[in-house]
């Protein structure tokens, strides 16, 4: 009886300690409620029957569900990814939509100044205002490019900080694995150590997607991303950040010795959100902004070169723009070099490319791995041509050498206004058409259009003489047949004939000398606001920027939807886990009373046993 009472006392004491432990850890993150499992001690056979020997504690069980824990961990990783991605994406969205920092107001003001020039082509203040708006537009491109660069640098720094945190958590898990393995050698589960390890794994999931492989000795192996080992038993691997093979200023994640880049194998968590933001939103946005700048400069320069300035000279480039960036792979063994230029802006994409040499031929792929067909041989006389790019390869390449080509990434930052003299703005058309006073027919010529501003004879006077109503000569040259469209062209210009000419009628195309008040080219420059330049001539400069804003807005909306879904999943998983593992103070208070009463009852059994024993001793002693 004494032994039975003591067993109940000790069991109740363990139960009281466990309940107290639960109550003390009600606010401990990751703590799993513990429960005492009582078992009856082996009975003692007495004659034809067995007499019970009391109770003992079979185990102190951690109330834990691996499936629910996995759900919480996965939802934590997903929410952290979308949360990180969403915070950065919102900053880009707000930047593009900001009236003070966005591009659209500056574009509107610039083309408004061009229209003012068309209204007052000889007015010097109007010309000066156009230069001011052009410089403001270039500054707006620079500001956006600088903000994107800052986001890129911030992303790289945060990637480095996340890698350091992942390494620290991995080492802590490895140490706990070692402690758990030693503690488990007795056959009992070290509940609090297991909770602490689960909490670290959950924290790790907030940084990067993880997967676990439990081992027979109660340790776990932890893998990140697509199977990169981080913790194997009590050994932790170390991730590190290295410079990109093409751009050493851009952080990439590597593992092993020598370090092998694994950024493409990682997903989930804060780190996955940073990598996804950079690849899926930041880089495309920078490229699309640069594509817009390239389209603006290319189209405006081409039309400006087709005009005549206030000094009577043909217009030059209004904007200057840097060439596409070509980045050499740090592992290249050969001496090859690559020069890139925009050959056809209408075919230009917002993609980046990798030009690779396999030992016998060069091949081109977009950054997403899609192969791109090239024409040409890569020489200066016959360059490679693909997606609107012209590529010239020099030097000698070794097999495996490669180059990253960024056609538009740096264009926004490199955009400049190339002129500073208001009189250098080419608002007039360079040539004008005039009919001879004695023409007998009803034909008239429309305003000349410039088809080749680089033609050396553009400003040379040309006389069109009609031999008949359907044939003509230019400067007494060969007789030509008038096409059905009525278009006549030579020396880089073209005119359209309206009406019926008579034999002997003449028209003169000559330099627009003294045409400072002419606004023909200014009108053409103004029309560029709505003229298709990109995507085969279907997308204007303003529409291209609109596409950028829409793409970013769409991505932000998708991320918000994903974040809401992951947050809902996480809340549900946490609630389900809490129902199993969480501490309920009302329940623990009830258990505390129950175990207290059990303890007191066991103590009473011991007291009765003691009384009986003392009575027995007294009876024996009396004899």
Could you report the per-residue pLDDT of 539-578, keeping only the tens digit for each? 999 999 999 999 999 999 999 999 999 999 999 999 999 9
pLDDT per position as a tens digit, 243-273: 999 999 899 999 988 889 999 899 999 999 9
For the cut 60, the answer to whether the pLDDT of residue 110 exceeds it is: yes
- Between strands 220-224 and 228-232, the pairing is antiparallel
| pLDDT (average), residues 588-609 | 92
454-478 pLDDT per residue, tens: 899 999 999 999 999 999 999 999 9
Q: Distance between CA 541 and CA 302 in Å, rounded?
A: 14
Q: What is the pLDDT of residues 480-491, one digit of tens each?
A: 999 999 999 999
CA–CA distance, 437 with 418 (Å, rounded to integer): 42
- φ and ψ of 272, to 5 deg: -60, -40
Half-sphere exposure of 76 (CA within 13 A, CB side): 21
Q: Are 297 and 321 spatial neighbours (Cβ–Cβ below 8 Å)? A: yes
Q: What is the pLDDT of residue 623?
A: 53
- Dihedral angle, C-alpha 320, 324, 329, 332, nearest 10 °: -90
What are the two backbone dihedrals, phi and then psi, of residue 240, each rounded to the nearest 5 degrees? -150, 165
Residue carrying structure tokens 């590190």:
240
User: How sure is the predictor about 319, in pLDDT bands with cuts at 50, 70 and 90?
Assistant: very high
Inform me whether the pLDDT recorded for 616 exceeds 90.
no
**492 Rama sector, left if φ>0, alpha if ψ -120 to 50, beta otherwise:** left
Percent pLDDT > 90 in the chain is 85
Best CA proximity match to 282, nearest among 125, 135, 143, 150: 150
Asked if 117 contacts 519 with a C-beta cutoff of 8 angstroms, the reply is yes
Q: What one-character DSSP code corresponds to residue 371?
A: E
Residue 46's pLDDT is: 84
For residues 270 and 162, the answer to whether their CB atoms sit within 8 Å is yes
**Does 598 score more than 70 pLDDT?**
yes
pLDDT by residue (tens digit) across 157-198?
Answer: 999 999 999 999 999 999 999 999 999 888 888 999 999 999
pLDDT of residue 99: 76
- Write phi, then psi, for 455 (nearest 5 degrees): -65, 125
Report pLDDT digits (tens) over 223-241: 998 889 999 999 999 999 9
pLDDT band, very low/low/confident/very high, at 613 (cuts 50, 70, 90): confident
Give phi and psi for 479, each to the nearest 5. -75, 130
Q: Quick one: pLDDT at residue 622?
A: 55
| Prior bond of 258 cis (ω within 30°) | yes
pLDDT at residue number 278: 95
CA distance 238 to 260: 12
First and final CA of the chain: distance in angstroms? Answer: 25
Quick one: pLDDT at residue 596? 93
> Residue 52: which residues within 8 A CB-CB, separation 6 or more?
4, 40, 41, 43, 44
How would residue 211 be classed by pLDDT, with cut points 50, 70 and 90?
very high
Mean pLDDT of 202-209: 95
Residue 64 contacts by C-beta under 8 Å, 6 or more apart in sequence?
A: 32, 194, 580, 581
pLDDT digits (tens, 9 = 90+) for 356-401: 999 999 999 998 889 999 999 999 999 999 999 999 999 999 999 9
Quote the mean pLDDT of the chain. Answer: 93
Q: What is the pLDDT of residue 196?
A: 95
How many alpha carbons fall within 13 Å on the CB side of residue 148?
A: 26
pLDDT digits (tens, 9 = 90+) for 270-296: 999 999 999 999 999 999 999 999 999
At 463, give phi and psi (nearest 5°).
Answer: -110, 125
Render pLDDT for 42-79 as a digit per residue (tens, 0 to 9).
Answer: 988 888 888 888 899 988 999 999 999 999 999 999 99
Please tell me what DSSP assigns to residue 374.
Answer: -
Question: For residue 490, which of 501, 475, 502, 505 has the smallest C-alpha distance?
Answer: 475
Q: What pLDDT is recorded for position 516?
A: 82
In this prediction, what percent of the chain has a pLDDT beyond 70? 100
The encoded tokens of residue 424 equal 């250098």
Taking a C-beta distance cutoff of 8 angstroms, is the pair 127, 422 a contact?
yes
pLDDT of 51 reads 87
């Amino acid at each position: 009886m004494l032994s039975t009472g003591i067993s109940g006392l000790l069991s109740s004491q363990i139960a009281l300690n466990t309940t107290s432990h639960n109550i003390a850890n009600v606010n401990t993150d990751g703590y799993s409620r513990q429960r005492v499992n009582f078992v009856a001690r082996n009975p003692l056979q007495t004659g034809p029957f067995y007499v019970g020997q009391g109770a003992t504690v079979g185990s102190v069980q951690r109330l834990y569900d691996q499936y629910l824990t996995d759900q919480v961990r996965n939802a934590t990783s997903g929410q952290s990814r979308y949360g990180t991605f969403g915070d950065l994406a919102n900053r880009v969205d707000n930047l593009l939509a900001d009236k003070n920092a966005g591009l659209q107001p500056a574009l509107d003001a610039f083309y408004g100044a061009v229209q003012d020039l068309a209204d007052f082509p000889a007015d010097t203040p109007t010309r000066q205002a156009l230069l001011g708006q052009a410089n403001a537009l270039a500054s707006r491109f620079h500001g956006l490019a600088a903000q994107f660069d800052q986001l890129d640098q911030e992303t790289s720094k945060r990637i480095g900080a996340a890698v350091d945190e992942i390494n620290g958590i991995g080492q802590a898990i490895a140490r706990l694995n070692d402690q758990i393995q030693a503690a488990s050698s007795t056959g009992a589960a070290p509940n609090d150590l297991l909770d602490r390890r689960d909490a670290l794994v959950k924290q790790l999931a907030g940084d990067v997607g993880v997967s676990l492989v439990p081992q027979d000795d109660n340790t776990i192996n932890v893998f990140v991303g697509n199977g990169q080992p981080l913790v194997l038993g009590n050994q932790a691997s170390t991730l590190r950040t290295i410079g990109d093979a093409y751009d050493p200023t851009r952080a990439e994640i590597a593992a092993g010795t020598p370090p092998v880049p694994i950024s493409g194998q990682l997903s989930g968590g804060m780190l996955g959100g940073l990598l996804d933001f950079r690849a899926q939103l930041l880089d495309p946005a920078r490229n699309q902004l640069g594509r817009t700048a390239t389209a603006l400069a290319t189209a405006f320069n081409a039309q400006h070169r087709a005009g005549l300035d206030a000094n009577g000279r043909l217009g030059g480039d209004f904007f200057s723009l840097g060439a596409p960036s070509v980045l050499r792979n740090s592992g290249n063994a050969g001496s090859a070099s690559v020069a890139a230029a925009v050959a056809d802006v209408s075919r230009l994409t917002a993609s980046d490319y990798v030009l690779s040499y396999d030992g016998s031929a060069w091949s081109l792929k977009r950054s997403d791995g899609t192969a791109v067909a090239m024409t040409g041989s890569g020489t200066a006389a016959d360059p490679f041509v693909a997606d609107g790019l012209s590529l010239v390869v020099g030097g000698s390449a070794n097999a495996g050498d490669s180059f990253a080509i960024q056609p538009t990434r740096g264009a926004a930052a490199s955009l400049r206004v190339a002129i500073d003299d208001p009189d250098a703005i080419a608002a007039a058309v360079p040539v004008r058409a005039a009919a001879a006073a004695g023409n007998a027919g009803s034909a008239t010529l429309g305003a000349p259009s410039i088809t080749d501003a680089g033609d050396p004879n553009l400003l040379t006077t040309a006389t069109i003489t009609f031999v008949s109503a359907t044939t003509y000569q230019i400067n007494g040259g060969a007789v030509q047949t008038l096409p059905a469209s009525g278009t006549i062209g030579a020396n880089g210009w073209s005119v359209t004939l309206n009406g019926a000419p008579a034999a002997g009628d003449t028209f003169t195309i000559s330099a627009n000398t003294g045409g400072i008040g002419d606004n023909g080219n200014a009108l053409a420059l103004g029309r560029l606001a709505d003229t298709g330049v990109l995507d085969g001539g279907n997308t204007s400069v303003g529409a291209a920027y609109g596409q950028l804003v829409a793409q970013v807005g769409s991505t932000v909306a998708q991320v918000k939807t994903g974040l809401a879904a992951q947050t809902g999943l996480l809340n549900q998983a946490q609630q389900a886990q809490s129902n199993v593992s969480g501490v309920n103070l009302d329940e623990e208070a009830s258990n505390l009373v129950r175990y207290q009463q059990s303890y007191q009852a066991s103590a009473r059994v011991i007291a009765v046993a003691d009384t009986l024993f003392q009575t027995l001793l007294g009876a024996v002693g009396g004899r």
